[in-house]
Structure 1
Amino acid sequence: MSLIKEAWESLRIVATLIDKMEGYNDELKALRTDVRDVRERLVAVETIIAFARGTTPKLPSGA
């Protein structure tokens, strides 16, 4: 392979990796949103259970 072909192939590989990383970043953002939603629902369920038991609900750590 000539030097130009090797450089071009390297650039193509880097561009492919960047594209994949951007896709993973989008997936990670979606997962972060899903986890936040699940956490909020879990806190709501825990609060309902605590009130049903007649106890004071505990605040989630990090609140």
Structure 2
Amino acid sequence: MTERNWQRASFCGGGGNNCVEVAAAAAGRVALRESERPERVLTMGPSLLGALIRHVKANPPE
């Protein structure tokens, strides 16, 4: 498996283990993982990631 250059979300905070991370994946796809479980990686196209982000922004946790 190739090494990815993971980037953390700006809301991650002070280096804790409660972060969402993204990286470029093969064939123009995007990899997404949670820092608490870095072995679990989702890959998707950029349009699906955009839809996920829009959904999360429109439906914040209560």
Q: Same fold (TM over 0.5)?
A: no
* Structure that is richer in helix per residue: 1
Given the two structures, how large is their TM-score scaled by the length of structure 2?
Answer: 0.27
* Structure that is richer in strand per residue: 2
Bigger-Rg structure (1/2): 1
Higher relative contact order, chain-length normalized (CA < 8 Å, sep 6+): 2
